[in-house]
């Protein structure tokens, strides 16, 4: 199988605080993980690519100092939303890339984290 867990599944925090979200690949090693956010009835918006042992690559318009990503091992990536504000409230989803042979990769997604900033 290819199972990815995400913790917490939901979190409520006060404006100005920081929140850490963990993404773990449980039964395979993932050199690359991805972080997305998704607004209601909209598609996935890629925020950043997390590479084990190196700095994350952020998509245009995503503040790297606000969304800190750490990929310290082949099975764990974390996303920290720093100084969260109500506009950061969203559904955050991680995925881990697993090669299906050659240069093709399938993405296995975590169940998502619902962040609400009050």
What does the alpha-carbon distance between residue 99 and residue 67 come to, in Å, rounded to a whole number?
Answer: 27
Which residues 57-86 are close enough to bind another protein by CB under 8 A?
none
Answer for which of 47, 67, 110, 115 binds another protein (CB under 8 A) is 110
What does the alpha-carbon distance between residue 27 and residue 46 come to, in Å, rounded to a whole number?
Answer: 24
Between 80 and 107, CB nearer to another protein: 107
User: What are phi and psi for residue 86, nearest 5 degrees?
Assistant: -55, -35
User: What are phi and psi for residue 88, nearest 5 degrees?
Assistant: -85, -10
**Residues in contact with 60: Cβ distance below 8 Å, sequence separation at least 6, in sequence order:** none
What does the alpha-carbon distance between residue 25 and residue 107 come to, in Å, rounded to a whole number?
Answer: 11
Q: How far is the CB of 82 from another protein (least distance, A)?
A: 23
Q: How far is the CB of 73 from another protein (least distance, A)?
A: 18
What does the alpha-carbon distance between residue 103 and residue 100 come to, in Å, rounded to a whole number?
Answer: 8
x/- track of binding to another protein for residues 14-53 (CB under 8 A) = -----------------xx-x-------xxx-x--x----
Answer for which of 105, 116, 117, 118 binds another protein (CB under 8 A) is 105
- Contact residues for another protein, defined by CB under 8 A: 2, 4, 6, 31-32, 34, 42-44, 46, 49, 91, 93, 95, 97-100, 103-112, 114
């Amino acid at each position: 199988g290819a199972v990815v867990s995400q913790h917490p599944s939901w979190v409520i925090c006060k404006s100005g605080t920081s929140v850490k979200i963990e993404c773990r690949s449980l039964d395979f090693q993932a050199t690359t993980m991805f972080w997305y956010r998704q607004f209601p009835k909209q598609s996935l918006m890629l925020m950043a690519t997390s590479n084990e042992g190196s700095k994350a690559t952020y998509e245009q318009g995503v503040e790297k100092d606000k969304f800190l990503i750490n990929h310290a091992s082949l099975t764990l990536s974390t996303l920290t939303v720093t100084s969260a504000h109500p506009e950061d409230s969203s559904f955050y989803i991680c995925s881990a890339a697993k090669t299906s042979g050659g240069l093709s990769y399938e993405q296995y997604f975590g169940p998502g984290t619902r962040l609400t900033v009050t």
